[in-house]
Amino acid sequence: MFIYCLGSCSPKTGLYDNLMDGIVAKPEILKLHRDSVRVTIQGAVPLKYLTKDAKIYLYPEYIYGEGSLRLGEFIPFDAAYTKNLIDAKVDESIVFPYLPGMEKGQLVLKGMVDRKKGTFQAPIKVIAEGLETTPLLTRYGQVLPDQPIPEIGIYILREFRDVDRFETRDFYIPFELGKGQKSNPVFSVPFSDYLIKGETGMKIKKVVVTGLSSPEAKDNTNGLAKERGDFIAERLKSNRFLSKIPIESMYRSGDWFDLRQLLSEYEGISQDQKEFVYAILLNGNSFASQLSALQKLPSYKNISSDLFPKLRSAKVSFELENTRFDDKEIYASVFALLNGDDPLEGFESDHLIYAGQNALKLDEKEAIYKKLNELFPSELSYNNLGVVYLNLAQRELDVRKKNILISDALTNLKQANKIKPGSIPLHNIGRAYLLRGDYFEAYIAISEASAMEKEETNDFLNYNEGLRGALDIINGDYKLATIRFNKTIENESNYFNKGLAYFLSEDYLKASENFESSVQADREAGFGFYGLALVAAVNRDRMALMENLGKAVERSEYLKQKALTDINFKNYRDEQEFINLFK
User: Mapped to the 3 state alphabet, what secondary structure does 535-572 carry?
Assistant: HHHHCCCHHHHHHHHHHHHHHCHHHHHHHHHCHHHHHH
* Residue 202 near residue 187, CB atoms below 8 Å: no
The secondary structure of residue 378, as a DSSP letter, is -
3-class SS string, 262-298: HHHCCCCCCHHHHHHHHHHHCCCCCHHHHHHHHCCCC
Strand order in the sheet with 313-322: 166-174, 313-322, 202-211, 247-251
- Chain-centre distance for alpha carbon 406: 16
pLDDT tens, the chain, 583 aa long: 344 454 445 444 578 889 999 999 998 889 888 789 999 999 998 888 888 888 999 999 999 988 899 999 999 888 765 545 566 889 999 999 998 889 889 999 999 999 888 889 999 999 999 899 999 999 999 998 888 899 999 999 987 755 556 789 999 999 999 999 999 999 999 999 999 988 877 889 999 999 999 999 999 999 999 999 999 999 999 999 898 899 999 999 888 999 998 999 899 999 999 999 999 999 989 999 999 999 999 999 999 999 999 999 999 999 998 776 566 667 667 776 777 766 655 567 788 888 888 888 999 999 999 999 998 999 999 999 999 999 999 999 999 999 999 999 999 999 999 999 999 999 999 999 999 999 999 999 999 999 998 776 688 999 999 999 999 999 999 999 999 999 898 999 999 999 999 999 999 999 999 999 999 999 999 999 999 999 999 999 999 999 999 999 999 999 999 999 999 999 999 999 999 999 8
The secondary structure of residue 199, as a DSSP letter, is B
Give the distance between the most distant pair of CA atoms in the chain: 134
- Give all domains of the chain, ordered by start, each with its CATH number: 2-132 (2.60.40.10), 136-160+326-452 (1.25.40.10), 166-266+307-322 (3.30.1330.60)
Report the run of H or E that residue 317 belongs to, with start and end. strand 313-322
